[in-house]
Structure 1
């Protein structure tokens, strides 16, 4: 990547905050070694730098990596398979399916010291607009830390839940930033049989860690035609091996076929061999309208889709204020030219001043970036110079099976809530706990005053956030929530959990059993009374109501709520939504075999055997001597790292409880493990 157009990641010396970082199941016997916090993995191809690594950095060779010897493998393996997704009728007349796609290159943290599974801060890039993404690259790497990055488990789990594949990153940096041509040669070395052993290693890592392939960014100059030929052979073999495991390979437009680094800003004779060898290609930022047009034509001539070309858009510095010649990529009223490659959209967090890093500020900037100035994908602002993804690209959904539930957990929060009560007042982030979230944020339909709709972190039913509707609506308001393909059975119900903080609101469930006839139209909702339903329970000020889908059949295509204010102003929260069979759902089976796998004073690694069946996540509590429970954390994995524990007065052993949480947020009985002090 052109070093004048982006910030190169340099070696970081500080780790993220004191995390209660979770980790997957430890398959070996309990280790005698001290418990250490798990971090995302990174490697050099083979040769390590001269000297010694900086504080907090571990130098590793990918060539010598073995899954059986990886001490943090289980802490870094994703738990959620890649979900299938579908494309509903677009929310507006300009968003299209089957044309341009969106890729994002995101740095979620430093190369070294990036927690495997969450940390104790809400100040985190909690990406939620997955519905517009087709590929996520876990960006990073530096000459002083490592060049090959495996995505951490929370990112992969959140992306997979929304149907988005995640690629690890291979970054061979320019010499000006410490790059060594030897590392390129190491990557493409061949064995006695003529194969590329590190290609097999990359595929093995992705398979073991549960992500979806690799982004190759070779920017170290000084090569020759022989090296270019070797790199091409490596890419060809990597793609063949990757395809056999359901993985993909994306090539970055930097190295040319003669082995030199020369960013083309186009698909042309200098890089088309690499494009043909890979699944996709990121086109460097120096493209023009003419080079993108010729690139699309060349891709067509090669028998490949022009939408397998990602036109790079550098948003690291200015985000949604970046000037882009959008008509060169996604022209209005004409077929799209190529796809879009967004470089560093985490600007939506990084540009915020220190005193405005609370989640609400981040989500406001992020919604502006992905949805556009109108903040409503059904009402795009044609005068907005920033052509947000929602304006050009149709959203997708993975909500296709019953039971389905969401508590609108964005994967970070200021506190942790269970049934409306605060069970931990510590801020946190863990993207692996993120729900499948509404894709169209926020479509609000009303003939009167439009209220604001946001994720809010001041109160929640479960997790860390809820949906807040606030304003003075003078006409009924419909809020679209989910586009779905949920089969309706004879006893299917919609369950809503909500509370009113001010005003009086009549609530109805909006259910559509068909698609709108054209893009941008309102789904053909039927409105089902909620307030008059008898099956209501109230806990900590939150009401839970079940609404039978009596008289409906077929498939639910869209879900929302209709709110009619009878007294205002209104502050109304939605804390949970579920579609399930009527009756009390069975609790999931309990995990088993809970154990301490490593210990060092008050730092512990716990692991357990998951129960069969679908488990959304696990919760951990400490059982105190007085019989009360203290919430410690939650994880989508099957193990957990705890730090800084201390004995309670008179306590000879700490007792921990692990519970499985099902799709409908019902918890299993606990499995208990003790640890003597």
Structure 2
């Protein structure tokens, strides 16, 4: 739960009621459940235009990622926290399923993914799985599993219905069963494990639930027969053991039929040195070595996260340097040694040479602010709404991430690269920033780029499969050299364009027909144009470009929003119902308050809720969420006694509604 929501932080010390049986758990009566429920349904996605010639273009080569999404199993925040450091993953276009690795005999062997990481995954079309953690290497015993295999009078395993119920209620997509129980010999009957799995698979299909079951076994003493047992009895995927068996052969099964379900596992931790050097041949390890697997599973993917222990500087600069190190490691893993998926070869390290990119941009509209779900300040509508440094982390407000990270082409002397930046944002906490590729560790930021007369920088950002009729396309951009605005209408030093590709019309460079300053913003401009002339065609790639009209150095270009919207589909928001306080705890000595609050979801297409305290008529940000439940702590009541919840339209930031309630009300 979020900090401040544990019973001990409300003054309780009795822990006897904190250990609940999974079988007896009822989310309907759990007051904490509302904070843990995902609010974003799984986005449908399709194969995008590929970034290189080596990768699979059919979608039959899949990637199951297993990574630590939180440092500890216990104490995981459901509604974010004020710690910038975290595994804020961005390369969703290469991941079909994600298991948040967690669990231990002393912390729990059935672990649900937290709401924030479910919403981040679902926004980008990736399935998120909970984990059943049977680890006989680290203390699991038969006694610890007492009751797990109990049946009812009809012979049904009771645990099956509970797993379906819990996944359905909290909004995630099924379970990864890490079955290493018999590393401690005799802990489980393997045939019974298979029977539970088979019953789960059958019931999910009977109930028309879109849930999956993925099996892993280290095959200690069992050979390869378990792979066949699992897959022929309903498992959606089977993961081979750490690359050592490298795609276990499926005995007594049609190899071709099951090959795409058989994922060869590579332990990122074991091969990290080779990965960083760019000389680990993923293609051979996954497909060429054995012929029994066409798919891939990455274990310890978040070992890139271990670099959070490193980073020069102090305070927030150290955190930003750590985050940069993490992104560089993730880049090496996903797109290879060049930092560009279009440049990687089939013999080099990287997931991009294997997995073709996927995209959730397949409807008639899309909008993104590129939020990674964290920041060192908070922005709304191009304005900083945190009056002091406001460090925050809530992966639940992660946006659709760029499909291609990063394909940037410079000509005529420009030297810009792309990356996420927390220096400036249009909304939430970050933008996509174009600057020189050199990183200044002392100031924890990139060095400004060189903009040349007629120098052009072109970035391919998204794959899509969007039917065009009467939509418009827009971007929010800022271009600065020190304190000088480069987009001014009177004498612009830089011109922007949309770089689009259509299924029938080919590549098009489209100049915006409208360039308007965003009132009240910090040098942000709204650029847009109509797409009606392409009606009937399909938009397959989306990017931007900018061209210099003068020679300038130290230039920073920030992209804060990119959207394709359709006016006829506008859905106006209404106010949220009255904000309800579940608990309001005041500390009269310090004149502060902690509040657990919730509200009915606002009608309309809500992108997010922003929670504020009203201070002298101004709105002071307290946090943001996509869930209709939130917790705020240590509110200084001397500053103001009113709370506001602002609902913001997903496709029109000017369509918002604010509901206010007094703290003493």
**TM-score, normalisation: structure 1:** 0.83
Q: 1:324 to 1:469 in 2, by over 3 A?
A: closer
Summarize the alignment of residues 399-414 of structure 1 with structure 2, pairs less than 5 Å apart: 399-414=361-376
**Out of 265, 268, 275, which is 2:231 matched to?**
275
Q: Does 1:486 align with 2:486?
A: no
Kept in 2: contact 1:397–1:483 (CA 8 A): yes
Segments of structure 2 that go 5 or more residues without pairing to the other structure are 313-317, 436-448, 487-492, 587-592
Matches within 5 A, 1:636-647: 636-647=626-637
The yes-or-no answer on 1:95 pairing with 2:75 is no
CA distance in 2, matches of 1:311, 1:631: 46
CA deviations on 1:536-560 (whole Å, 9 max, x unpaired) are 5453211112212252222322211
Give distance in 2, aligned partners of 1:583 and 1:100: 38
Cα shift at 1:134: 1.0
1:74 and 1:351, CA in 2 relative to 1: closer, same or farther beyond 3 A?
same
Does 58-67 or 430-439 show the bigger shift? 58-67
Distance in 1, matches of 2:637 and 2:648, equals 28
Q: Cα offset for 1:408?
A: 1.1
Task: Indicate yes or no: 2:563 matched with 1:572.
Answer: no
Matches within 5 A, 1:115-154: 115-154=77-116
Q: Is the 8 A contact 1:184 1:220 kept in 2?
A: no
Counterpart secondary structure, 1:440: coil
The C-alpha deviation readout for 1:192-247, integer Å capped at 9, x for no partner, is 22110011111110001000111112222355598222222111111122333110
CA distance in 2, matches of 1:585, 1:327: 45
1:319: how far off? 3.6
1:340 equivalenced with 2:268 (yes/no) = no
Q: Report which stretch shifted further, 329-338 or 497-506.
A: 329-338
Q: Rate the CA distance shift 1:607–1:560 in 2: closer, same or farther, 3 A.
A: same
1:161 aligned residue? 123
Post-superposition shift, 1:444?
1.6
Q: Secondary structure at the match of 1:645?
A: strand
Q: CA deviation at 1:527?
A: 1.2
Contact 2:501 2:507 in 1 (8 A): yes
> Mean Cα displacement is larger for which, 419-428 or 141-150?
419-428
2:222 is equivalent to residue 250 of structure 1: no
CA distance in 2, matches of 1:226, 1:146: 17
Residues 1:596 and 2:581 are matched in the alignment = yes
Post-superposition CA distance 1:636-668 (Å, at most 9, x none): 10010111123116x6xx211112111123442
Indicate which of 582, 587, 608 corresponds to 2:599. 608
Mapping of residues 320-331 of structure 1, within 5 Å: 321-322=274-275, 326-331=282-287
CA deviation after TM superposition for structure 1 residue 511, in Å: 2.1
* 579-588 or 498-507, which deviates more: 579-588
CA distance in 2, matches of 1:572, 1:144: 49
1:157-192 Cα deviation digits (max 9, x unpaired):
111111111110011221x52211123453222122
One of 59, 62, 65 as aligned partner of 1:104: 65
Q: Which has the higher contact order (CA 8 A, sep 6+)?
A: 1
Aligned to 2:428: 463
In structure 2, the CA distance between the partners of 1:420 and 1:534, relative to structure 1 (3 Å rule), is: closer
Q: Is it true that 1:190 corresponds to 2:151 in the alignment?
A: yes
Q: Which residue of 2 aligns with 1:628?
A: 618
Partner of 1:533: 514
Change (3 A) 1:618 1:495: same
Partner of 2:439: none
Alignment-derived partner of residue 657 in structure 2:
669
CA contact (8 A) 2:243 2:266 kept: no
Between 536-545 and 202-211, the greater mean CA deviation after superposition:
536-545
Pairing 1:219–2:180 present: yes
**Structure 2 matches for 1:239-638, cutoff 5 A?**
239-243=201-205, 244=207, 245-254=209-218, 261-262=220-221, 264=223, 268-277=224-233, 278-285=235-242, 287-288=244-245, 292=247, 295=249, 298=251, 301=254, 304-316=257-269, 319=272, 321-322=274-275, 326-331=282-287, 337-352=293-308, 353-355=310-312, 356-358=318-320, 359-381=323-345, 384=348, 387-424=349-386, 425-448=389-412, 450-470=415-435, 471-472=449-450, 475-490=455-470, 492-502=471-481, 504-514=493-503, 524-530=506-512, 533=514, 535-537=516-518, 539-549=521-531, 551-554=533-536, 555-566=538-549, 567-569=551-553, 570-581=555-566, 587-601=572-586, 602-624=593-615, 626-638=616-628
Q: 1:646-665 alignment to 2 at 5 Å? A: 646-648=636-638, 654-664=641-651, 665=653
In structure 1, list runs of 5 or more residues that go unmatched.
1-14, 24-32, 38-51, 516-522
RMSD of aligned alpha carbons: 3.0
Cα 1:311–1:303 shift into 2, 3 Å = closer
Question: Would you say the 8 A contact 2:282–2:350 is kept in 1?
Answer: no
CA 1:336 to 1:223, structure 2 compared with 1: closer, same or farther past 3 Å? Answer: closer
Q: CA deviation at 1:482?
A: 1.5
Checking the alignment, whether the CA contact within 8 Å between 2:174 and 2:213 is kept in structure 1 is: yes
Q: 1:669 to 1:406 in 2, by over 3 A?
A: same
Counterpart in 1 of 2:590? none
Q: Is the deviation greater in 460-469 or in 499-508?
A: 499-508
For the residues of structure 2 that align with 1:349 and 1:489, how far apart are their CA atoms?
43
2:191 and 2:368 map into 1 onto residues whose CA distance is 50
| SS in structure 2 of the partner of residue 74 of structure 1 | helix
Provide the C-alpha distance between the structure 1 equivalents of 2:412 and 2:345, rounded to a whole number of angstroms.
19
Contact 2:307 2:326 survives alignment (8 Å) = no
C-alpha change, 1:394 and 1:614, in structure 2 (3 Å) is same
**Secondary structure in 1 aligned to 2:584?**
strand
| Deviation (angstroms), 1:383 | 6.2
Residues 659 and 667 in structure 1, CA contact (< 8 A), matched pair in contact too: no
Q: Distance in 1 between matches of 2:74 and 2:135?
A: 16
Q: CA separation of 1:465/1:351 partners in 2, compared to 1, >3 Å: closer, same or farther? A: same
How many matched pairs? 607
- On the 8 A contact 2:180/2:217 being kept in 1, the answer is no
In structure 2, distance between residues paired with 1:576 and 1:473? 22
| Change in 2 beyond 3 A, CA 1:536/1:336 | farther
Once the two structures are superposed, residues 380-421 of structure 1 have per-residue CA deviations (whole angstroms, 9 ceiling, x without a partner) of 15664xx21112110000112333211111111111111232
User: Cα distance 1:34–1:608, how it changes in 2: closer, same or farther (>3 A)?
Assistant: farther
Aligned counterparts of 1:279 and 1:582: Cα–Cα separation in 2:
40
Separation in structure 2 between the aligned mates of residue 226 and residue 130 of structure 1, nearest angstrom: 35
- The verdict on how the C-alpha distance between 1:340 and 1:263 changes in structure 2, with shifts beyond 3 A counting, is farther
Contact 2:264 2:286 in 1 (8 A): no
